[in-house]
Amino acid sequence: MAAQKIKVAVTGATGETGVSIIKALLESEEFAITAYVRPSSTEKPQLQGFKEKKVPIIPLDLEAASLEEIVKAFQGQDIIISGVMPHTSDIEKKLATAAKEVGVKRFIPSFFAPLAPPTGVNILREIKEEVINHVKKLHLPYTVIDAGGWYQVSLPNPPSGKLDYMTKIPSNVQYGDGHYSTSVVDLGDIGKYVALIIKDPRTLNKYVFTYNEVWTHDAMFKLVEELSGETVERQSVPEEALEAGIQEASKAYEQDPSYKNFVLLLVQQYANQNWIRGDNLPETGTYLGYLLSKDLYPDFKFVGLRDFAKEALDGKAQPVYTTKTFDF
């Protein structure tokens, strides 16, 4: 008799993280996957491959739906993985409340980001803390999964424009002197880590940090120069200028909490925690109480940044955020 499959629901299934997770789950026979997307997203090309593999695609507007409708939509699921991009905590709190009523065995909130302390450094982290505090208030079984910065948005673009296709997020800015380190990970590997974590009893009601390698910004620039044979322009931003930018963006967001101002603040805060403060490092994760993917899964076969960079410069990497603009 075949073992019963673990029923996994993934919300935000057309997002970059959601797609990575579903692809990885499909590689295993252990999971029965259901993808939940906004009604307007059911025909997005990201879903075509999942439809071909008979993954149920459920239209569900988490913001507009009532709690009762969400509970009904998730009946029978063992695990709920949230891949939504929260601007506020309201949607995920509602999703967590529904998960509690459904009786899921594990809830994975939408963290999947570089490390930061709970407050005072990153506005999105503060929103996520509201969510996990709500989860704990409900006594809902959970696992928080954070991840290093993506390779896909970390490499500087050489003058030839070989990486133009990869993303619309500019990455030729170097913060500080370039010698601070940060943890990085291949987006495709995040999903593979998730597939291991959600079935691991050691990670229940724990925080887990997933990463592949640790690099300095200077080393990333030199890697691209070595592999491309080109001199890569560095747009230097001193620490003081970054701090001033964060202060200015914080004031703008306080006066007008629009999505535009939210993102303009967030990207600078990410730069600060990744490249200046040293938050996004394994030792910081241990200090903050995280389990580390390297300790949990020492035999995990990950993609190295050098190999990814070769593939990207050859035009063979999978681009990200190609439909989003960040120029406002």
Task: Identify the CA nearest to 156 among candidates 174, 175, 171.
Answer: 171
- Gap between the Cα atoms of 51 and 314, Å rounded: 30
- Helix axis angle, 187-197 to 16-26, nearest 10°: 60
Which residues are bridge partners to 32 per DSSP? 7
Look-up of token digits 């990970």: 185
Band the pLDDT of 2: cuts 50, 70, 90. low
Mean pLDDT of the chain: 94
Pairing of strands 57-59, 31-37: parallel
Band the pLDDT of 320: cuts 50, 70, 90. confident
Band the pLDDT of 327: cuts 50, 70, 90. very low
Write out pLDDT tens, residues 176-199.
999 999 999 999 999 999 999 999
Band the pLDDT of 132: cuts 50, 70, 90. very high
Look-up of token digits 């620490």: 239
Residues 144-167, mean pLDDT to the nearest whole number: 94
298: number of Cβ within 10 Å: 7
Band the pLDDT of 85: cuts 50, 70, 90. confident
- Gap between the Cα atoms of 209 and 281, Å rounded: 9
- Gap between the Cα atoms of 217 and 172, Å rounded: 10
Look at residue 168 and tell me whether its pLDDT is greater than 80: no
The residues that are catalytic are: 128
Band the pLDDT of 87: cuts 50, 70, 90. confident
Of 130-134, 206-210, 323-327, which gets the smallest average pLDDT? 323-327
Residues 48-74, mean pLDDT to the nearest whole number: 94
Report if pTM > 0.75.
yes
Sheet bearing 31-37, strands edge to edge:
57-59, 31-37, 6-11, 79-82, 106-108
- Gap between the Cα atoms of 246 and 4, Å rounded: 50
Residues 77-100, mean pLDDT to the nearest whole number: 92
Residue 238, Ramachandran bin (φ over 0: left; ψ between -120 and 50: alpha; else beta): beta
